[in-house]
């Protein structure tokens, strides 16, 4: 009910009514659900269809450039926390002087709108990017990265409006290009650890912007069951890529190697895979493919169901793993193909997760295939033990080379499908 109220307000219908179903339908017997609908929901539905709610006026808000608080560092921080404008950590007070310093690192005008972000339907202005960048502790020269991030956030295919959904997935930003070294991003050991200013503050900016401009506040529009803290930026090791002849992650999105660009995608979890051992790619593959399958449970609804081919598993490979795989003659595309061929689960497990365990309206793969909604690889026979892939095509896999130079590990992320689909943007430096 709180979410419905917050979301309808952002859409310009703050008086839109809802008809509640008591409790959670997923945990009720058929009889209890029917009784709840008859005794509670029905009255709400009839009421909402026949009675027009009273009009509600929009609440007043400050202007885009208004000073909302004057005081000491502590007073400003207390004000921002009290007004739900902060993530709980101390923020750098966004003063005019600091915001203008950020604006000097873009050719865009401050009032330029990069997109309109749901659920609050606020304009993603260059000005607001600078204000939140200051707050996050970024350096002014990070501004082109922040602008590209917000452009990606506003890309419809990404689906920012889903950022407050039940699984509470968090976005991972992957960075490519000369900006990695120019701005001092960590791309080696501990790449996902905080402690490196560029990686850490840009990651924090993402969450602050989701909160302040998109409107994802916990207990309101952000309904993550548990949630995650924001992730630091992962930069790819392009020195290693050049050595082994693999294209960077941004090339998957159409950007040439050497372009400064970033991609975003939402992930509900992930796992570090230790001690990946073997002298050849053939020897390494079974463990990696097995690790990929083990990350995916309910998320296969994004392959067949809610998402239909939108699952994009992301695998971080440590440099020596990538070097060993490439040394065996495999290209990055070869690895994706091998993962498609080998990271599979029995069809009966696929159907059990969707039909029996999560009550998604997918009853069997044969029916989906016959309806033309999924590729034929999912129904090559009626054998329930046949092995089926977890994605539609090899290109759905994303491979990023980063992390400690000397360790044989990978990291597999559980993707959130259409509710955070990977998109990428070029980072444009000021002229």
Partner 1 sequence: MTRSDGAQYQALWPRSPRQAKVKSLAKRLDTLEGKTIGWLWDYVFRGDEVFAQLEESLKARYPGVKFVDWGEFGNTHGSDEREVVAALPQKLKAKGVDAVVSGMGC
The reply on whether position 203 binds partner 1 by CB under 8 A is no
- C-alpha 358/C-alpha 352 separation (Å) is 9
Footprint of partner 1 on 83-102 (CB under 8 A): 85, 90, 93-96, 99
CB closer to partner 1, 75 vs 382: 75
- Lay out the site mask for partner 1 across 279-318 (x = CB under 8 A, - = otherwise): --------------------------xxxxxx--------
Residue among 266, 263, 267, 260 at smallest CA distance from 238: 260
Q: Is 385 in the site for partner 1 (CB under 8 A)?
A: no
62 counts as binding partner 1 under rule CB under 8 A: yes
Residue of 332, 369, 328, 325 lying closest to 347 (CA atoms): 369
User: Which of 149, 208, 251, 354 lies at the binding interface for partner 1 (CB under 8 A)?
Assistant: 208
**Does 82 contact partner 1 by CB under 8 A?**
no
User: What is the nearest approach in angstroms of partner 1 to the Cβ of residue 215?
Assistant: 9
Q: Does the protein bind partner 1 through residue 32 (CB under 8 A)? A: no
Report yes or no: 120 and 154 within 8 Å, Cβ to Cβ.
no
227 makes contact with partner 1 (CB under 8 A): no
How long a stretch of residues is the chain? 431
Looking at residues 355 to 374 of the shown chain, list those that interact with partner 1 (rule: CB under 8 A).
359-361
For the beta carbon of residue 363, count every other beta carbon within 10 angstroms: 11
Element spanning 265, H or E = strand 261-273
Give the interface size with partner 1 as a residue count (CB under 8 A).
Answer: 89
- The whole-angstrom separation of Cα 191 and Cα 198 is 11
Among the listed residues 65, 104, 109, 193, the single contact to partner 1 using CB under 8 A: 65
According to the binding rule CB under 8 A, does residue 80 interact with partner 1? yes
Number of CB atoms found within 10 A of residue 89's CB: 12
From 18-26, 189-197, 291-299, 319-327, span contacting partner 1 (CB under 8 A): 18-26
- Rounded CA separation 351/8 (Å): 35
Owner of token pair 């990404």: 158
For residues 311 and 391, is the Cβ–Cβ distance under 8 A?
yes
Strands 234-235 and 170-176: parallel
For 29, the 3-state DSSP assignment is coil
CB 155, min distance to partner 1, A: 12
Min separation Cβ 428 and partner 1, Å = 21
Minimum Å gap between C-beta 34 and partner 1 is: 5
User: Measured between alpha carbons, how far is 136 from 208 in angstroms, rounded to an integer?
Assistant: 7
User: Can you tell me which of 22, 40, 112, 121 binds partner 1, judged by CB under 8 A?
Assistant: 121
Binds partner 1 by CB under 8 A, chosen from 128, 263, 295, 408: 128
């Amino acid at each position: 009910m709180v979410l419905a109220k917050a979301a309808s307000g952002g859409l310009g219908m703050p008086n839109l009514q809802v008809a509640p179903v008591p409790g959670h339908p997923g945990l009720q017997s058929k009889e209890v659900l029917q009784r709840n609908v008859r005794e509670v929901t029905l009255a709400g539905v009839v009421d909402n269809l026949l009675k027009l709610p009273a009009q509600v006026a929009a609440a007043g808000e400050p202007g885009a450039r208004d000073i909302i608080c004057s005081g000491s560092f502590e007073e400003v921080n207390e004000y921002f926390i009290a007004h739900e404008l902060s993530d709980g950590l101390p923020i750098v007070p966004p003063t005019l002087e600091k915001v203008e310093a950020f604006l000097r690192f873009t050719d865009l005008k401050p009032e330029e709108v990069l997109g309109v972000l749901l659920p609050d339907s606020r304009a993603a202005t260059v000005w607001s990017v600078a204000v939140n960048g200051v707050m996050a502790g970024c350096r002014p020269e990070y501004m082109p990265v922040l602008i590209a991030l917000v452009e990606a956030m506003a890309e419809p295919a990404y689906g920012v409006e889903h950022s407050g959904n039940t699984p509470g997935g968090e976005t991972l930003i992957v960075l490519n290009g000369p900006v990695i070294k120019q701005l001092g991003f960590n791309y080696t050991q501990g790449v996902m650890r905080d402690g490196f200013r560029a990686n850490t503050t840009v990651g924090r900016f993402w969450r602050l912007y989701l909160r302040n401009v998109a409107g994802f506040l916990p207990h309101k529009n952000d309904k993550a069951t548990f949630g995650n803290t924001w992730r630091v930026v992962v930069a790819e090791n392009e020195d290693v890529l050049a050595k082994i002849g693999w294209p960077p992650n941004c090339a998957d999105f159409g950007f040439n190697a050497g372009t400064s660009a970033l991609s975003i995608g939402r992930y509900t979890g992930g796992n570090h895979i230790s001690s990946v051992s073997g002298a050849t790619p053939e020897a390494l593959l079974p463990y990696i493919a097995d690790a990929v399958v083990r990350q995916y449970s309910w998320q296969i609804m994004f392959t067949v169901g809610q998402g239909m081919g939108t699952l994009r598993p992301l695998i971080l490979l440590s440099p020596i793993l990538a070097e060993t795989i490439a040394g065996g003659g495999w290209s990055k595309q070869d690895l994706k193909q091998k993962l498609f061929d080998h990271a599979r689960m029995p069809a009966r497990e696929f159907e059990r997760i969707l039909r029996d365990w999560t009550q998604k309206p997918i009853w069997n793969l044969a029916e989906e295939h016959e309806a033309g909604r999924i590729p034929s690889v999912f129904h090559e026979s009626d054998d329930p033990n046949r092995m089926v892939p977890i994605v539609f095509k090899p290109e759905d896999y994303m491979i990023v080379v980063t992390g400690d130079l000397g360790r044989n590990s990978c990291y597999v992320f559980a993707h959130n499908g259409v509710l955070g689909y990977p998109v990428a943007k070029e980072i444009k430096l000021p002229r």
